[in-house]
Amino acid sequence: MVGQTLIQKILAKASGKETEGVVENEIVFVSPHRILSHDNSAAISKTFYKMVGPNGKIWDHEKIFIALDHAVPPPDAVKAGNHTVIRKFVKDQGIKYFYEGGTGICHEVLPAKGHVPPNVVILGSDSHTTTHGAFGAAGIPIGRTETASVWAIGETWLKVPESIKIILDGSLPKGVYAKDVILEIIRQITAAGATYNSIEFYGSSVKKLSMSERMTLSNLTAEMGAKAGIFPVDDVTDEWNKQFEFQYDRITADEDAKYIKTLELEVSNLTPRIAKPHKVDNVVPIEELGKTTIDVALIGTCTNGRLDDLEIAANILKDKTIHPNVRLLVYPASQEILLQATREGIIETLVAAGGQIGIPACGPCLGAYGGCIASGEKAISSANRNFKGRMGSKEDTGIYLASPATVAKSALAGYITAEEE
């Protein structure tokens, strides 16, 4: 057997080829541990019935995961109707893992509810399914029709990706966060630089990253075109997994496993990073950005809407008031996070500073509702995409991506800054 990377080991296991292993670019057929979808489940369910006929049944009612998060609460009757279609489908098919709108963003809820053990394949009808690599799983995004087909027959094809190794060493300086690290990685690898590849994270800094910080990194590997962004299981993963009844081995990549690229990054001297409009790899150190006033500051999304993110923002905003020209929008990534942030006084601090708290969901990230920006306005956001159209942005507007700390500091100043007031 040739030396196997993490993705090769995971795909070999999922396709029944554990003994012989798999090689790069080989086509394998895998059955996922879970297949995730969200509001798009309405369209997927219609496609599903087109494939299997009106009396067709799903392949496994315990493997399909649906969380309503994209249009929550529904801003109009059409989106509300989609939710109705999904609830009926869930009931008719006996789907076990359905999470009602307001529970949280699919990528937050899936691991938090114990659906992501290490070493498994998670398929998802959402491009940020890469998030689940944080837990040592292969989170691989697919499309709607394909999701319908997996619901019907329980498997799909995957081409075994070539792998990129990222080695992070050193300790993050004060005011610099996981988001800054991954933005710097994207700057170096570029938006197309990891297309079809699987990324593995190593190095002394990785051991110090929390599960939440790892999720930020894995989430954003999607913005380099990666198929997966995986953290090897370590003590931090084991500690997280104690709350669940998972049975697993710690798998590691073989020593002779092949990587097409290795990127080493010393994080000790890193400064806060900003991705300028309208590309995620349009990244500069914040000190190189000219004075940029903002109208909206967004903290939330599947990238950076977790408890530690809200806490960092609250520590910056404590006993202060945001700039009068700024609207600060806060979308906790899940109900559980909102509840915990409420108990810890984080929500009170954010509201007292002038923040508007949204319902745990995707919020305005995709650009359909929940705090879009008007013509001529600029936003700073803790999300993962600054494309034209996101948050309703146009040619003459723009989204700047940054860490929650930079977003909070900018909300106070009225312009983009990483300096404490």
Partner 1 sequence: MSNSAYPDILSITGIIITCGDNINTDLIMPSQYLDNPNPSYFSQFVMSGQDPEFVNKIQKIHGQFELPAILVAGTNFGSGSSREQAPAGLKYIGIAAIVAESFGSIFFRNAINVGLPVITVPNITKMVKNGISVKINLRKGFLDILEQNSKKIHFKPLEPFLLRRLESGGLIPELKQQLKSSNKY
Residues that bind partner 1 (CB under 8 A): 27, 43, 46-47, 50-53, 55-56, 76, 78-79, 125-127, 141-146, 148-149, 152-153, 157, 191-192, 195-196, 225, 227, 279, 366-368, 385, 387-390, 392
Q: Compute the least distance from the CB of residue 191 to partner 1, in Å.
A: 6
State both tokens at 389. 């159209």
Structure tokens at 186: 């994207």
Pick 11 or 142: Cβ nearer partner 1 = 142
Residue with tokens 């690290």: 181
Can you tell me the distance from the alpha carbon of 122 to that of 143, in angstroms, rounded to the nearest whole number? Answer: 13
Nearer to partner 1, 36 or 233 (CB): 36
Sequence-distant (≥ 6) Cβ neighbours of residue 384 within 8 angstroms = 128, 219, 220, 222, 223, 280, 301, 302, 303, 365, 401
Cis, bond preceding 107 (omega within 30 deg of 0): no
Instruction: Decide whether 5 or 212 has the Cβ nearer to partner 1.
Output: 5
How buried is residue 352: exposed, middle or buried, by Cβ count under 10 Å (0-12/13-18/19+)? middle
Q: Closest separation between CB of residue 139 and partner 1, Å?
A: 13
Exposure string (b/e) for 95-131, b if CB count within 10 Å is 16 or more? bebbbebbbbbbbbbbbbbebbbbbbbbbbbbebbbb
From the list 283, 288, 261, the residue with the least C-alpha distance to 184 is 283
Q: How far is the CB of 204 from partner 1 (least distance, A)?
A: 31
Q: Which is nearer to partner 1, 153 or 351 (CB)?
A: 153
Pairing of strands 27-30, 156-159: antiparallel
Residue (53 or 324) nearer to partner 1, CB: 53
Nearer Cβ to partner 1 (92/421): 92
- CA atoms within 13 A of residue 232's CA, in its CB half-sphere: 20
State the minimum distance, in angstroms, from the CB of residue 292 to partner 1. 22
CB of 385 to partner 1, least distance (A): 7
Specify the residue, 202 or 387, whose C-beta has the smaller distance to partner 1. 387
Q: How far is the CB of 400 from partner 1 (least distance, A)?
A: 16
Q: Which two tokens stand for residue 342?
A: 């409420």
Minimum distance between the CB of residue 150 and partner 1, rounded to whole angstroms?
11
Nearer to partner 1, 42 or 380 (CB): 42
- Closest separation between CB of residue 76 and partner 1, Å? 8
